[in-house]
Structure 1
Amino acid sequence: MDIKLTKAEKIKILNAFDIYGIMQRILLREDKIDQDREHFWVIGLANNNRILFIELISLGTVNRALAEPMEVFSLALQKRAVKIILCHNHPSGELVPTEVDKDITDRLIQVGIIVNTEVLDHLIITTESYVSFKNMGLMEELAESTQYVPNYVLKERYKKEAAAMAQRKEKLEIARQMKAKGMDVETISEITGLTVEEVKKLRGKGK
């Protein structure tokens, strides 16, 4: 269900508090009907962080709301949103992310990467307050997860990492040989791309 926004609500989002200011009013409005159920919304943003839409995609139970990737990203793709923010309420009033909350966010972050629509944050709200996954450091932590990363992406990532390691090993060996021949540290750094400190730590062969 698309949430109708006033002109005043179509603001440029600067932080989580900006989103909460709008979502709190929406929650208070919808609480009159389904106050004991979790609501899950998606907020679509333009490139300049201006709100394009707010969509209620799921009405769940007292402690869980489903958030399927197709539902989350379909409107974002249709309306050309380049970023989204996730938001759901906890009817219990608890503002602690559950493992299910983290798992859903983990999955959606990875899907967002595939469809080129960044998941900026996930807010858990009540009528009184909120928590932001981004402010808690959870978005950064979940972005490092490989649980929902497709195997072909992991293989490509590992291949690139292996190539980078091999390239670095080669640079170190070249720098070591240059140093053994008496070349100055600054020149070696300039040629190899290694830092001066890295070159200084190298020992020439036989030394």
Structure 2
Amino acid sequence: MNIRLNKEQKIQVKDSSDIYGVMQQILLRQQRIDRNREHFWTIGLSTDSSILYIELVSMGTVNSVPAEPMEVFSFALQKRAVRIILVHSHPSGNLEPSEADKDITDRLIQTGHIVKLPVLDHIIITATSFYSFAESGLLKALQASVKYVPPYLIAEQIREDKAKEMARTMKQKGYSIIEIAELTGLSPEQIRDL
């Protein structure tokens, strides 16, 4: 369900408090309907970090909410968002992310990598406060996870890391950039940057 935004809500996002300001209004408006259920939204951003849309992806139970990658990314891809922010509510008032919250965030980060639509943050909100995965450092830790990375991408990264190590050694031994590129498959730019 696409959330209608007024002009004041279509802001340029600078940090998570900007998102919370908009989402708090939406949460309070929607809480009249299903006050005790978790809600999960996505916020699509344009290239200048302005809010393109806010989409209610799903409503759950009192302590969980489903967030399937297909549902999370479908509207974002249709609207041509360049980044997304995940937001969900905790009716309990507890801002601490659960293991399930961390796990779905990890999964959605990896899905975002595959479809070239990065997850900028995941924010847990209540009527009075919020928790930002990005500001807490948790998003960065989850971005380093390989739990949901497809095996072919892991293998590709290992091959590239080995090629770069070989190129470093060849550079030290005086091989030319052209020779290194031919033997490693790396581009001359990649080799110069080593």
1:187 aligns with none
3-state secondary structure, aligned to 1:61 = coil
Please report how far the alpha carbon of residue 172 of structure 1 lies from its aligned counterpart in structure 2 after TM superposition: 3.5
List aligned pairs for 1:52-201, cutoff 5 A: 52-174=52-174
Please report how far the alpha carbon of residue 174 of structure 1 lies from its aligned counterpart in structure 2 after TM superposition: 4.5
3-state secondary structure, aligned to 2:37 = coil
In 2, the alpha carbon distance for the partners of 1:110 and 1:154 equals: 12
Please report how far the alpha carbon of residue 165 of structure 1 lies from its aligned counterpart in structure 2 after TM superposition: 1.2
**TM-score (normalizing by structure 1):** 0.83
For residues 73-121 of structure 1, give each alpha carbon's deviation from its aligned partner in whole angstroms, at most 9, with x where no partner exists.
Answer: 1011111001000000111100101111111011111111111111000
Please report how far the alpha carbon of residue 33 of structure 1 lies from its aligned counterpart in structure 2 after TM superposition: 1.4
* Paired letter, 2:168: R
Please report how far the alpha carbon of residue 169 of structure 1 lies from its aligned counterpart in structure 2 after TM superposition: 2.4
* Paired letter, 1:101: D
* Paired letter, 2:55: E
3-state secondary structure, aligned to 1:27 = helix
**TM-score (normalizing by structure 2):** 0.88
Please report how far the alpha carbon of residue 193 of structure 1 lies from its aligned counterpart in structure 2 after TM superposition: 6.8
Please report how far the alpha carbon of residue 139 of structure 1 lies from its aligned counterpart in structure 2 after TM superposition: 1.1
For residues 121-171 of structure 1, give each alpha carbon's deviation from its aligned partner in whole angstroms, at most 9, with x where no partner exists.
Answer: 000000000010000011111111100111111110100001111122233
In 1, the alpha carbon distance for the partners of 2:103 and 2:65 equals: 12
In structure 2, runs of 5+ residues without a counterpart are 176-190
In 2, the alpha carbon distance for the partners of 1:17 and 1:150 equals: 33
Matched, 1:27 2:27: yes
Please report how far the alpha carbon of residue 8 of structure 1 lies from its aligned counterpart in structure 2 after TM superposition: 1.0
In 2, the alpha carbon distance for the partners of 1:123 and 1:48 equals: 20
RMSD of Structure 2 on Structure 1 (CA): 1.7
3-state secondary structure, aligned to 1:84 = strand
Q: Which entry has the higher C-alpha Rg, 1 or 2?
A: 1
In 1, the alpha carbon distance for the partners of 2:92 and 2:193 equals: 54
In 1, the alpha carbon distance for the partners of 2:41 and 2:141 equals: 22
In structure 1, runs of 5+ residues without a counterpart are 176-191, 196-207
In 2, the alpha carbon distance for the partners of 1:52 and 1:127 equals: 23
In 2, the alpha carbon distance for the partners of 1:145 and 1:72 equals: 20
How many residues are paired up? 179
2:185 aligns with none
1:46 aligns with 46
2:15 aligns with 15
* Paired letter, 2:117: T
